[in-house]
Each structure stands twice: as C-alpha cells, then as structure tokens.
Amino acid sequence: MSGRRIRSLLLNAGVAFIALLVLFPLAWMVSVSFMSTGEAATFPPPLLPRTWTLEHYRDLFVTQGMGRYLWNSFALATLATGLALLFTVPAGYAFAKLRFKGRERVFQLLVGALVVPAQIGTLPLFLMLKGMGLVNTYAGALVPWLASIFGLFLVRQYSLSIPDEMLEAARIDGASEGQIFRRVVLPTLQPIIVTLALFVFLGSWNDFLWPLIILTDQSNYTLPVALAALSREHVQDVEMMMAGAVITVAPVLILFLALQRYYIRGMLAGSVKG
C-alpha cells in the first residue's frame, strides 16, 4: 500500500515540476512587464516588481503605435476567419454529401496537394499580388486563408456523419439545396465551425512569414511583425518588450482557454484520424 503512496507522490511531483517549467516563462513575462525600466537587467533576476507600473504599456500605446498593430491583427484575424468559413464550409459539406461529376477525382487531387507546403508558392504569390497591386494591403495578407485545404477536409470529415435521410426528407418537403444548407446542415455543423473559426483566428493572429513579406508599410504591421521589428530596435528594453509580448499573447491565450474543448477536439480529429 505504501508503494502505491510513493508512486502517487512521485507522479504528482512530476506533474508539478512540468507545470513549473511550462508556466514559469509566461508568469515571468507578465511580471517583468510591470517592472520599472532596467529592473529586470540585474542579477539575480528579480521575480516580482518592486513597484508595479503600467508605464511600458502606456509607452507602447502612446509612442510605439501599439494600438494600430493591435487593430491590424484583430481586423485581419476576424476577416480571415469570416472568409475562410465562407469558402470552406459549403465546399467541405458538398464534398461529403452532394454528388457531382468528378467529385472523387478532385478530392484525390486535394489529398495529394496536402503534401505541398504552402511556403513553396510564397515567392510567385508575392509577384502575383504585386502585379494586382495588393502588396501592403489587407487583401494581400488575407489571400492565403481563402485557400485552406485543411479546413475543407475538417468540415468534410465532420459532414460525413450527417444522416442522408435528414437531407432527403428536407428535399421531399420541397427545400432547395441552399435552404437545406442554411436550415439543416449549418446547425448540425456548428461545433466544427467553431473549431475551424478558432484555428483560423489563432493561425492568422500568430502568423509571421507571410505578413512579414506582404505588409511592407509600418502602419499595416500585425503584432508579431511589429514585435519582431521592435525587438531589434529595443533589445535593452526588457520590460517594454515583455509588455509587448503580453499584449500579443494574451488575446489568443484567453480565446484558447475559453474555447479549448473545440480546439482540442478538432486537433485530435484532424491529426489522429487525418
């Protein structure tokens, strides 16, 4: 019996240790963001501010234009989410439940395309958008989110479980395909729509390479691009950089914690069954 006790103690200690390793960096980031200038650059590193101050947050918004970057990130992530849902949800449903000529062949092509990393097309896509005058615009930044094969698969996978009888009954009642989609299909797809919206929102918010390339003007920077640029200029300003990191991370972390059920379920459906 005592062997079991020891085992339980060891395992719980192990969990506590991992939790410390995982959470300490994030807690430290928040703590340092409230320290006064220069306080974190001492040894041994202080864990809590001597006096709590909001000066770095104020500085970021007043003199570094953080409000603008926050707005860009928010607007782009919201638009990307809306557009991605608009493009992929009907398509994912149609691939699962509607018959049309060439469905299997097109689907196989899409499966094959999954192995191609999107970065391959980055350079021609940039040239293409330059030709269309979309470099340094929101539209240019949003373009990759329209073409999400992964999202289409996610919705298709989920749609397969919609019973055919339900759709057929609606057809007999005289509903058009569009009405069926809006009134019958969309309500059943609600969980996967939340999952996909969450994936796209977080993906767009956290994205770095594409906005770095396509958003050339500082006033259009998203938070990650602005933060990377700031961190090169202000290497010494630990406290201010941590405040910037908090502003960048907090929204997505809160969103994830609020909707983690949807996120984790979708992630496991996409990777384990994928």
Whole-number minimum distance, CB 56 to other proteins, in Å?
13
The residue within the footprint of other proteins, chosen from 2, 50, 63, 164 (CB under 8 A), is 164
Where in 90-149 is the site for other proteins (CB under 8 A)?
A: 90-91, 93-95, 98-101, 103, 106, 110, 113, 115-128, 143-144, 146-147, 149
Please give the Cα distance from 49 to 55 (Å, whole number): 13
71 binds other proteins, rule: CB under 8 A: no
Where in 218-247 is the site for other proteins (CB under 8 A)?
A: 223-225, 227-228, 231, 238, 241-242, 244-245
Whole-number minimum distance, CB 68 to other proteins, in Å?
17
Binding mask 4-33 for other proteins (x = CB under 8 A): x--xx--xx-xx--xx-xxxxxx-xx--x-
Which residue bears the tokens 């969103």?
A: 255
| Nearest CA among 155, 21, 29, 17 for reference residue 97 | 155
- 47 backbone dihedrals φ, ψ, rounded to 5°: -95, -30
160 binds other proteins, rule: CB under 8 A: no
162 binds other proteins, rule: CB under 8 A: no
256 binds other proteins, rule: CB under 8 A: yes
213 binds other proteins, rule: CB under 8 A: yes
